[in-house]
Chain A
Amino acid sequence: MEVSMRFADEDLPEIKSGLYELEIELNTGIREDGTEKQSKETIHLVAAAKRFSMDPGEVYSVYPAAGSEGEFSNCLPHIVFNRGTLPWEFGCRDGSPGLAVFLCTEDEGVQKRTMKVADICCPKEPGVFVSEHLRAQNSDAETGDETCEFVDIPLKLYRRLFTDSEERKLLTHVRQVKLDDKVTDPLVRDGTFSCLVSKRYPKEPEEKGKKTAHKAYVVSLKEYEGVTIPENAGFVRLICLYAWEFVVTKQPYDFRAALKRISPGVLKRAVSPEGKQGELVDILSRGYCPVNHDVRDGSKTVSWYRGPWIPYGEKQMKPRYRIFSDQFYFYDPACGMMDVSYACAWQLGRMVSMNHLTVCRELVSWRLDHCSEAAQNFQQSQLFDRIPAEGKDVGEQLINACVRAASQLAAEKGDEADGTVDSGKV
């Protein structure tokens, strides 16, 4: 299968978060005292955006997969977001994306904490450096009482992993794919994703059979843009928007390895013919299963049931309409058991319908409307059979029939002019 994917270097949001000033000028074209009437107004707008947290639903996938174990030493871990614009929504002033993936092993002293947004800037732990820009701003969608996650990273490690704006630009890109052959996903609409890659690759375990646990953090670096961190700081505090873990071993783990483990076959229950009659083996291999059956009269029996997915092609029956599900029972006199598959399907359909009351109402009303329309048509056709008349439509035919009947009556007896009417006829 050919992979069809397009890359883009950026997907900028329509508007960046921040404070905006909107100037409105209205030129009326009406002149008064030689000057045009004008009005001018300034509106202040705040485009608020989340800065301290991210909805986990924004994350489409991560590589290596969260919780997976395998040989990941020759890859750069990445995270894929559902929206193309996301990394630029957390962007810096120079237009570069503000997010980065920091990959760390468990023994590197990174501490992840949860606390209120308002408390981030007041570290209780000594030696933690916090950027001034982490203070709450007007353009933040979060309030000070909301909780967020952040990581305290040892300064030495921070300096190794920090990415400048040029590096962040190279490590963030947009992918666009076709949805035609893809699994339906309610969160995927237009096939545009953004991808953020780490610049550090995972650590291979030193010995075979050993494991190295890794944690990857998606951190926001825009608060540290142009900030000088003092050398005596022990840790640097960063907003952590997402984190996942994986383990590196010497065992190969990739798509092909997972495919190779799959055993293809036909959907049916594995049947061992030993000790079973030939007929029974035949029925079981057709996908039937014996199930307990509570019959309407209260007695209990065992019947055959088979779901809609069968291991071979079944001949299509002519559709027939049933009033109740028992009409779908098929009795096999040879083994004295019933096949209740279609009866179950019918009854399930009825239950599904009853679960959607609007559907029931509309269905019944459609049928009723049809029945009354058919009854009306039938009544009219009966009427016309008895009173034949000409006309281009039903209404005209009816009027003509009445006029003709009335004129026949008038011609026989009575005259409107002299006021005499035959009482026996009218």
Chain B
Amino acid sequence: MGRWIQGKCDRTGYFEGLGSEGFPESVLELLKEASLFYHVPAAYLFPVPDMLKKDSLNFFQVDHNWVLAMLDGICSVGRNASIDYAHDTELIVDIYRQALRENEQVRLKLQEREYTDTEEDVPEVISGFLLNSVLTENFRGLEFRAYGQREGGEPLKALRIETLGRQLLLGIFKGEIRRLEIAQPPEGLHFGFHTEDGVMKKTVREINEGKLGDKQAELVWKSKEDRVIDVKASAAKLKEAAGLQNMTSAEFALEMIQNAQTGVYTMGEEFK
């Protein structure tokens, strides 16, 4: 029997000239999704159920090492021989970096919006929040804007804002969140009025800016007993008070909707 020959394991420069070009798009897509915790079961995300209390807003930072371990697990399939290991050691770092750099495409693709490559490097900090509230259920289309500063500044890029359950919502942003604004979905703003001395009144909104002015218009009942509003007469009153030329349903809606409300949470301070 012949003797075993020790293989030469130093593969320095063995993969020279090869790059991450041609990496399968489907694998890259999966890596981008996984880096934003798609395909991750809830038990891995919340090992303890009492982390998700009702009416809570919990902030967190993403553990990069956890994400990289998961991405490596995804790419570990078929990594059997030492040559595969050497190959991945040399070539796959760039793939992980690319997946982390371009993972904002996942949200843009879901919203059918276009992606423009800003050639930004992988962010050092990725942070997010979990909202567990009736807001998620009753105000569909909530809007979130996160900032890296307590005051002012440019909004952080949203990587993922999605509902995970009936009342549970996840937000992940590029950078460290120091201020978060939660706004009422404008498409769901309702028509409202206030009652003064038994008269329905509506403060008139300026047509171009959309801001409320000082003038008020009286809304007209068709039948007070039946709580039915005379739409045409009320629209005419609003038209007169706002000094408008036309009063279509668009102007009527602008005048009748209630103001949107916004909640601001700032790090280190109470809700205001």
Which residues of A pack against B, CB within 8 Å?
A: 1, 3-5, 7-10, 60-61, 63, 65, 68, 74-78, 80, 160-161, 163, 166-167, 169-175, 177, 179-186, 188-191, 193, 195, 197, 199-203, 254-256, 258-270, 289, 291, 305-314, 316-317, 319, 321-323, 325, 328, 341-356, 358-360, 362-367, 369-371, 373-374, 377-378
Most buried by A among B44, B61, B253: B253
Q: A261-B55, A312-B61, A346-B73 are in contact. Are A359 and B186 (CB under 8 A)?
A: no
**B212 interfacial by beta-carbon distance below 8 Å:** no
Q: Which listed residue (A3, A267, A345, A350) contacts B58, Cβ 8 A?
A: A267
A262 to B185, CA, bound (A): 18
- Report the minimal beta-carbon distance from A185 to chain B, rounded to whole angstroms: 7
Can you add 12 more A-B contacts, CB < 8 Å, to A197-B253, A262-B133, A310-B62? Answer: A80-B188, A175-B253, A181-B183, A183-B142, A197-B191, A258-B134, A323-B79, A346-B73, A353-B76, A358-B26, A359-B26, A367-B78
Instruction: Decide if A256 touches B30 in the complex (CB within 8 Å).
Output: no
Q: Which listed residue (B18, B68, B186, B194) contacts A4, Cβ 8 A?
A: B186
10 nearest A-B pairs in the assembled complex, by CB-CB distance = A349-B73, A364-B78, A362-B24, A9-B248, A309-B60, A267-B58, A65-B138, A7-B250, A346-B73, A173-B249
Instruction: Decide if B143 touches A268 in the complex (CB within 8 Å).
Output: no
Instruction: Decide if A179 touches B145 in the complex (CB within 8 Å).
Output: no
List 22 A-B residue pairs with CB atoms under 8 Å apart, sorted by A's residue number.
Answer: A7-B250, A9-B249, A77-B190, A160-B222, A170-B248, A172-B249, A175-B253, A188-B111, A197-B256, A199-B231, A258-B135, A262-B56, A266-B60, A269-B48, A308-B40, A321-B76, A345-B67, A354-B77, A355-B39, A363-B75, A363-B78, A377-B17
Q: A3-B186, A309-B45 are in contact. Are A350 and B125 (CB under 8 A)?
A: no
Contact bitstring B173-205, A, C-beta under 8 A = 1, else 0: 000100001111111111111110000000000
A3 to B227, CA, bound (A): 30
Instruction: Decide if B144 touches A181 in the complex (CB within 8 Å).
Output: yes
Instruction: Decide if B66 touches A342 in the complex (CB within 8 Å).
Output: yes
Which B residues touch A195, using CB under 8 A? 187, 253
Q: A9-B249, A169-B249, A200-B229 are in contact. Are A262 and B47 (CB under 8 A)?
A: no
Which B residues touch A3, using CB under 8 A? 183, 186, 189, 210, 260
Which B residues touch A316, using CB under 8 A? 64-65, 124
**B51 interfacial by beta-carbon distance below 8 Å:** yes
Q: A261-B55, A308-B67 are in contact. Are A179 and B113 (CB under 8 A)?
A: yes
Which B residues touch A328, using CB under 8 A? 69
Instruction: Decide if A378 touches B14 in the complex (CB within 8 Å).
Output: yes
- Report the minimal beta-carbon distance from B267 to chain A, rounded to whole angstroms: 9
Instruction: Decide if B76 touches A349 in the complex (CB within 8 Å).
Output: yes
Instruction: Decide if A350 touches B74 in the complex (CB within 8 Å).
Output: yes
**B84 interfacial by beta-carbon distance below 8 Å:** yes
Q: Which listed residue (A74, A175, A270, A311) contacts B193, Cβ 8 A?
A: A74
Instruction: Decide if B158 touches A160 in the complex (CB within 8 Å).
Output: no
Instruction: Decide if A346 touches B70 in the complex (CB within 8 Å).
Output: yes
Instruction: Decide if B61 touches A314 in the complex (CB within 8 Å).
Output: yes
Instruction: Decide if A181 touches B145 in the complex (CB within 8 Å).
Output: yes
A310 to B127, CA, bound (A): 9
A170 to B250, CA, bound (A): 8
Q: Which listed residue (A254, A307, A348, A354) contacts B47, Cβ 8 A?
A: A307
Instruction: Decide if A349 touches B34 in the complex (CB within 8 Å).
Output: yes
What class of interface size applies to chain B in its complex with A? 35 or more
Q: Which listed residue (B57, B83, B158) contacts A262, Cβ 8 A?
A: B57
Instruction: Decide if A63 touches B65 in the complex (CB within 8 Å).
Output: no
Instruction: Decide if B137 touches A60 in the complex (CB within 8 Å).
Output: no
- Report the minimal beta-carbon distance from B83 to chain A, rounded to whole angstroms: 6
Which B residues touch A74, using CB under 8 A? 192-195
- Report the minimal beta-carbon distance from A92 to chain B, rounded to whole angstroms: 15
Q: Which listed residue (A9, A76, A355) contacts B190, Cβ 8 A?
A: A76
Instruction: Decide if B271 touches A262 in the complex (CB within 8 Å).
Output: yes
Q: Which listed residue (A163, A306, A310, A373) contacts B231, Cβ 8 A?
A: A163
Per the 8 Å Cβ criterion, residues 118-140 of B in contact with A are 124-125, 128, 130-131, 133-135, 137-140
A264 to B57, CA, bound (A): 4
- Report the minimal beta-carbon distance from A236 to chain B, rounded to whole angstroms: 16
- Report the minimal beta-carbon distance from B88 to chain A, rounded to whole angstroms: 5
Q: Which listed residue (B30, B51, B228) contacts A160, Cβ 8 A?
A: B228
A344 to B227, CA, bound (A): 60
Q: Which listed residue (B27, B69, B107, B124) contacts A362, Cβ 8 A?
A: B27
Which B residues touch A355, using CB under 8 A? 39
Instruction: Decide if B64 touches A177 in the complex (CB within 8 Å).
Output: no
Instruction: Decide if A267 touches B135 in the complex (CB within 8 Å).
Output: no
- Report the minimal beta-carbon distance from A191 to chain B, rounded to whole angstroms: 8
Instruction: Decide if A63 touches B231 in the complex (CB within 8 Å).
Output: no
**B217 interfacial by beta-carbon distance below 8 Å:** no
Most buried by B among A75, A169, A348, A362: A348
Most buried by B among A3, A291, A365: A3
Which A residues touch B191, using CB under 8 A? 75-76, 78, 197
Contact bitstring B253-265, A, C-beta under 8 A = 1, else 0: 1101010111101
**B241 interfacial by beta-carbon distance below 8 Å:** no
Which B residues touch A201, using CB under 8 A? 227, 229
- Report the minimal beta-carbon distance from A206 to chain B, rounded to whole angstroms: 14
Instruction: Decide if A364 touches B77 in the complex (CB within 8 Å).
Output: yes
Which A residues touch B226, using CB under 8 A? 160, 200
Instruction: Decide if A260 touches B271 in the complex (CB within 8 Å).
Output: yes
Q: Which listed residue (B84, B158, B256) contacts A367, Cβ 8 A?
A: B84
- Report the minimal beta-carbon distance from B214 to chain A, rounded to whole angstroms: 20
A289 to B51, CA, bound (A): 11
